[in-house]
Amino acid sequence: MRVYIYLLVFLFISGCSKDDIIEPPADTIPLANYPDLQYKVFSGCARINCHSSNSRKGDLDLTDANAYQNLYNKASSIYPQLKRVVPYKPEESVLIGFLRGQYTPQMPIDGSLPFATVDSIELWIKKGAKKH
């Protein structure tokens, strides 16, 4: 009986090594979609009266009804030669530059978003910045 237990323990230990663990590919990071970003990020920018229909700082309205059309392929009012969101090209999207502090003023104005949130926005843009 003892031999069987040792054999089972040996097979269990030797059958699973660190090399057997499969890491998911980097491109399988959960895709941030626009409805989630609008609800969790952009609408917050509108609620604090920075980018609401009334305040429109930077000529940008991020309310639920207007955010997408004010972001997607739309020229920045601060840097008119750049677009706020260039589909498939986060490196050309001024929104990412504002959020990462590459352009001034850094957004949000009172601090910064968590890196994971900015990464999600960047991934959304990289996947085409689709509305749905």
Q: Which domain holds residue 83?
A: 36-132
Contact yes or no for 58/94 (Cβ under 8 A): no
| Residue that wins the pLDDT comparison between 30 and 15 | 30
At residue 2, the 3 state secondary structure works out as helix
Say how far apart CA 90 and CA 129 lie, in whole Å.
Answer: 9
Is residue 28 in a domain? no
For the stretch 114-130, pLDDT in tens is 898 999 999 999 999 99
Number of domains composing the chain: 1
Is residue 26 in a domain? no
User: What's the DSSP call for residue 39?
Assistant: I
Is residue 116 in a domain? yes
Is residue 25 in a domain? no
Is residue 55 in a domain? yes
Residue 45 CB partners (closer than 8 Å, separation 6+): 51, 62, 107, 108
For the stretch 32-76, pLDDT in tens is 799 999 988 888 888 877 888 888 888 898 899 999 999 999 999
Q: What is the pLDDT of residue 8?
A: 36
Is residue 128 in a domain? yes
Contact yes or no for 56/49 (Cβ under 8 A): no
Residue 74 CB partners (closer than 8 Å, separation 6+): 83, 84, 85
Q: What is the pLDDT of residue 31?
A: 53
Q: What is the pLDDT of residue 42?
A: 87
Q: Is the pLDDT of residue 1 over 60?
A: no
Is residue 16 in a domain? no
Q: What is the mean pLDDT of the chain?
A: 79
Q: What is the pLDDT of residue 2?
A: 56
